[in-house]
Structure 1
């Protein structure tokens, strides 16, 4: 394929992203060499200018788009050249095209057409007649006399009307293929169109009643309404379309071609051609573009919301040093119990039946009391599913009667998905599905990240409209969030599950399984470099993964930190500068002195002396100051309770400490201790206008909220921060 159009993609991407070209160039080279985003962001800061994960992915996405764009430009140029239609004008338009859509518009005249009306008319030789009608140089009689010559029954041209109709089809096709006209009409439509919806079929639940007679400008309609309309259309309840002033659009076509002789006797042929071109060919395509673009923007917004929520959920602090009794509540089948050690190992399982129909609260109370005392349980964790409120009441009564323990309620979203999974069956082959669910509920409080990575992110209940957006795109976006969270926190190699290890930079599912097998056969790892003994763990995998894998070992003191093995010598030299050894970072008696000395280091001087970059030196010093520090430690802890709160207790004006459970476009759902979360609407988040709920709150945040209104019959609570 001949390359007609070339460009410096790095320079162009840098300009569009407003980054220095050397940063973009280095990032692209690193990505093209097979380096992972977390590795580049953490360990190649000198090369990229300290770009973070999001910026690196933006570079990757932009460069990939530009590569596709310029590859497509050359494909179109070659297609035109093969038809001997490539000229300076077309080549210049291709060079100036900024989007794939513009390139596709330019490709339309050279595209091998299906059997359209215009293609059939062209095959019948009607192009000269179409040109005459378009140019309006002949009157009606002259055109009809010329049309007579085209009558040919074998070509299915039996009358003058059929001949003229064919010519009109050619004109309509040419108008539709005009890239400059399409661009002009596209701008008009995208500036002025409205989305219109009407009820199409019966809506049994009234789910879409807000959209039975709906109209809103495409420039004002919020993303969540787009997704709701799409769902209503998919459910065959709504008929949705785009709407503009068609008469004005058609006049734009006349003006575009500067048709001067509108009183011509053949202008009616042009009217038919223009009308057909706009209503049957151009506008339907533009309407699809509008719907696709609105959906694209809505999906991006939903993905961003979901991703932000998921990141906050995964970064919840682990509950250290607490033994828990996890309760998966239910009525008929009973509440399943799982007592867990501080590290999440299973101590004992059981079941109680404090609720109807079995209704044995006394026996259930005795079981709970025995488990709490025998295993020295610190906290009871209750899932928020069916029978959660009744189970909470039961536990709260036990505490009120002297049981020395606190309780909390956690979301059990995804617990059932995990408990029936292949992973859960492998982890607990002898246990019932519901017991596995109870274990998951308890562990997700003890170490949210380690447990939640076992569950499909879509099942974690921290987004909206996840079923209305591209599942492939959703899976990719959420996977990136999990990858970033896991690598930001780091993974303890001697205790991590295969599910957790799989998200470490550079480690495949096969690598993860081989690590587990090696651990089972040889015991704990003592050094990071022992990973080379794991089958399939080569230099590239080790380079990408090593810095994110942690272990607490005297034989590899720096493995307690995010310092990469390639920087061990630099770290050792920094410690020598302040008269410390690597082993000292594990000595609790020397921690304070070490931090003080590291704080006093002259960074510029040390960088020059050790010949390392400032970003790397800064990261090494930060890691040496707090070896083993969990970045999640700064996040708010769960709210523990000893008494139950009922909706009957809730009155407007009361203030509660709540935890942000989920954030959506229109507000946030807050757990204030009831089974049902209260809604903090976006309009109640501040005295000032709030454009995005994420500006005010984040998942897991503890906030004081005031009750605005209570609807007991519907179980709805409205909350406010404006007090």
Structure 2
């Protein structure tokens, strides 16, 4: 089957959608560009489908290359038949492909290769044939050769059985069936590796069928084994597997050599096949679990990046700490640093009073609107300090919120952090980041390696290359779906835009600093190294506010400007109407004319025309503004204040396989277990909640000693 046809079948797409997408990818187009500006070619496939298609395309192309390599290698041995080539071409799974190649792969020294070197292969084939009139003991006498260390007939038979065992082990059909049986009947069995207590104690005597084990359990078990607290094995239905092998390998009418073949078959399974298949299934379980974890991480990261910005607010960022104090940074509504300092809220009473006076002075001096408190060490004490401070300021407009500071320390110690704020030390850069995160989460978080943002599970145990690629794609999609201001965006943010490399991003910033602000998207063509292809890929995602052309502040691509202007003229509007937001009936009037007819007249596709209409109606639109704003607080609760049955409003901070963690204004986030997310059956928490959601929860239990809070969303009005 052609790769395009296979992809269409696997992904439930039409052949033409896949063929067009492959052609666009091969031409060097990015996923965000294809998703946004080539909808007609792909049938409006979204970012996620396109990335899955691209990933699978790369896998199948790698498979195709491997198939050709294997056919070449077998051909060089003079053993490639038409039937074997057809079997290789028909493979869709790498394991099956490698099973076919196994008998032809050059082997390191094995018991079978040693036996072959002793000249025992003819004897092995005679025994394996299980002829009724063949006497193995008599035949073996002819192979006794002390010079080759075959001292007796029994030595010869033992070597021959090693050859038979390897031959059985190398049978591709056997391996495929045994793999299926092992997975179907096997149980993942876990035991404690010693007497030491650990966080893995729940797995010290644990077993679960391979077919049912949850991904997060697989990852926990893998980590426990790696840290030498657990021993893990897979126990299949051995009798059923051996019965299958013997049925396939033993002569129906038992011959004198049949017991030897039976013993060789048992040896083949226990010594060669079972350990290999167990490794493969363990790897498959791990890969499946990692893919699930990556999927959860991707969704969480996307939702975190797409959190609504709190525009035009003066923010004090507080990076809590005990010994070194709480670092302070004040930033204005554009993110410009106005002031920095250090306060001590966990030391003496005098220092705490001095801290209160200092923060009050900053609030008054800079007309501060908001305190952004990092959720790390000493966060609770800092939150209590902030709540007390606000109580002492009757009528104040200032509120606070707890901000996820994951990755802030990574950024502050990075080369990028040093380049951006060379005059500040590492700790103050972190406070600046915490302040800026509430103003524009996306712009700040793109400066941090995605896996350091901390909204997944077991991210350090995964294939780091695969995780990095997956999360990088999420960041790219998020940035391009929002778009960036060409005149204010940092180089790291620009680098995430379709078609813009790190070098081009730096050149854009340098060009902006040398020549002044961009007033027209066409000026991008003057940026060094930004050629026609890069312009095509990036132009639609870059915004220019108050530029020469209002269309430059929309996601209408420059290639569609003539169509947008013709549409306005056709329906009796002007560019000025776009600027003044006087297009209330634009969509209605377009529908009256007929979208299909208008699209044909304007020489654009219907999806593109609908996008143009939407953008003309809302120039400068930020899709994040439609999301519910975060909860701002002025008072603090203690875990001791929580009572069973208490109903609270909170913010979802993380979603994992077994539930969601919700910030309810207490230092510890509460867990809503998957069984408590809804009155209906929930397959996965992501089906019900997302990071950033504002939800109502009821307290089931609060344990101050263990610092655990159990919550439920059942029976509450969460739409």
Please report the TM-score for the alignment, with normalisation by the length of structure 2: 0.96
Instruction: Look up the match of 1:84.
Output: 78
The answer (yes or no) to whether the contact 1:554–1:583 under 8 Å persists in 2 is: no
The answer (yes or no) to whether the contact 2:144–2:151 under 8 Å persists in 1 is: yes
Deviations 1:139-187 (CA, angstroms, capped at 9, x unpaired)? 68x3222211111122221221211111001101110111112122122
Runs of 4+ in 1 over 4 A off after TM superposition: 593-601
Equivalent residue in structure 1 for 2:98, among 104, 121, 143:
104
Matched, 1:453 2:437: no
Post-superposition shift, 1:574? 0.7
Q: Distance in 2 between matches of 1:524 and 1:600?
A: 40
Matched, 1:656 2:652: no
Greater CA drift, 328-337 or 21-30: 328-337
Instruction: Look up the match of 1:312.
Output: 303
Greater CA drift, 590-599 or 393-402: 590-599
The answer (yes or no) to whether the contact 2:24–2:34 under 8 Å persists in 1 is: yes
Deviations 1:43-96 (CA, angstroms, capped at 9, x unpaired)? 111111111112112222232222233333333333333333233432342243
The answer (yes or no) to whether the contact 2:330–2:337 under 8 Å persists in 1 is: yes
Instruction: Look up the match of 1:698.
Output: 690
Q: Distance in 1 between matches of 2:88 and 2:330?
A: 67
Equivalent residue in structure 2 for 1:66, among 60, 71, 74:
60
SS in 2 for 1:360: helix
Instruction: Look up the match of 2:620.
Output: 628
RMSD: 1.7
The answer (yes or no) to whether the contact 1:132–1:138 under 8 Å persists in 2 is: no
| Structure 2 counterparts to residues 5-16 of structure 1, below 5 A | 7-16=1-10
Q: Distance in 2 between matches of 1:372 and 1:595?
A: 46
SS in 1 for 2:166: helix
Instruction: Look up the match of 2:207.
Output: 215
| Structure 2 counterparts to residues 362-511 of structure 1, below 5 A | 362-402=353-393, 404=396, 405-511=398-504
SS in 2 for 1:337: strand
Structure 1 residues 595 and 326: alpha-carbon distance in aligned structure 2, compared to 1, 3 A threshold: farther
Q: Distance in 1 between matches of 2:56 and 2:386?
A: 54
Q: Distance in 1 between matches of 2:417 and 2:592?
A: 50
Q: Distance in 1 between matches of 2:636 and 2:3?
A: 61
Q: Distance in 2 between matches of 1:698 and 1:716?
A: 21
Equivalent residue in structure 2 for 1:666, among 618, 640, 658:
658
Please report the TM-score for the alignment, with normalisation by the length of structure 1: 0.96
The answer (yes or no) to whether the contact 1:340–1:348 under 8 Å persists in 2 is: yes
Post-superposition shift, 1:487? 0.3
Q: Distance in 1 between matches of 2:459 and 2:642?
A: 32
Greater CA drift, 493-502 or 78-87: 78-87
| Structure 2 counterparts to residues 541-552 of structure 1, below 5 A | 541-552=534-545
Instruction: Look up the match of 1:609.
Output: 601
The answer (yes or no) to whether the contact 1:353–1:359 under 8 Å persists in 2 is: no
Post-superposition shift, 1:259? 2.4
Deviations 1:15-36 (CA, angstroms, capped at 9, x unpaired)? 2222111111110011011110
The answer (yes or no) to whether the contact 2:183–2:236 under 8 Å persists in 1 is: no
Q: Distance in 1 between matches of 2:74 and 2:345?
A: 77
Q: Distance in 2 between matches of 1:68 and 1:554?
A: 47
| Structure 2 counterparts to residues 192-207 of structure 1, below 5 A | 192-204=185-197, 206-207=198-199
The answer (yes or no) to whether the contact 2:127–2:136 under 8 Å persists in 1 is: yes
Post-superposition shift, 1:646? 1.1
The answer (yes or no) to whether the contact 2:190–2:207 under 8 Å persists in 1 is: yes
Q: Distance in 2 between matches of 1:83 and 1:455?
A: 51
Q: Distance in 1 between matches of 2:420 and 2:119?
A: 73
Structure 1 residues 315 and 599: alpha-carbon distance in aligned structure 2, compared to 1, 3 A threshold: farther
Instruction: Look up the match of 1:31.
Output: 25
The answer (yes or no) to whether the contact 1:417–1:459 under 8 Å persists in 2 is: yes
Greater CA drift, 271-280 or 62-71: 62-71
SS in 2 for 1:651: coil
Aligned residues: 713
Q: Distance in 2 between matches of 1:640 and 1:13?
A: 47
The answer (yes or no) to whether the contact 2:128–2:257 under 8 Å persists in 1 is: no
Post-superposition shift, 1:134? 1.4
Post-superposition shift, 1:270? 1.8
| Structure 2 counterparts to residues 238-249 of structure 1, below 5 A | 238-249=230-241
Structure 1 residues 127 and 391: alpha-carbon distance in aligned structure 2, compared to 1, 3 A threshold: same
Greater CA drift, 75-84 or 619-628: 75-84
Task: Give unmatched runs, 5+ long, in structure 2.
Answer: none
Structure 1 residues 361 and 58: alpha-carbon distance in aligned structure 2, compared to 1, 3 A threshold: closer
Q: Distance in 1 between matches of 2:590 and 2:343?
A: 55
The answer (yes or no) to whether the contact 1:489–1:632 under 8 Å persists in 2 is: yes
Matched, 1:519 2:512: yes
Post-superposition shift, 1:258? 4.3
Deviations 1:445-492 (CA, angstroms, capped at 9, x unpaired)? 110000011111222121111011111111111100000000000011
Q: Distance in 2 between matches of 1:77 and 1:595?
A: 59
Post-superposition shift, 1:594? 5.4
Task: Give unmatched runs, 5+ long, in structure 1.
Answer: 1-6
SS in 1 for 2:23: helix
Deviations 1:340-398 (CA, angstroms, capped at 9, x unpaired)? 11111111112222321575222212111111111111111111122211121122112
Post-superposition shift, 1:597? 4.9
Deviations 1:256-288 (CA, angstroms, capped at 9, x unpaired)? 1242244x4433322331122101111111111
SS in 2 for 1:704: strand
Instruction: Look up the match of 2:524.
Output: 531
Structure 1 residues 561 and 276: alpha-carbon distance in aligned structure 2, compared to 1, 3 A threshold: same
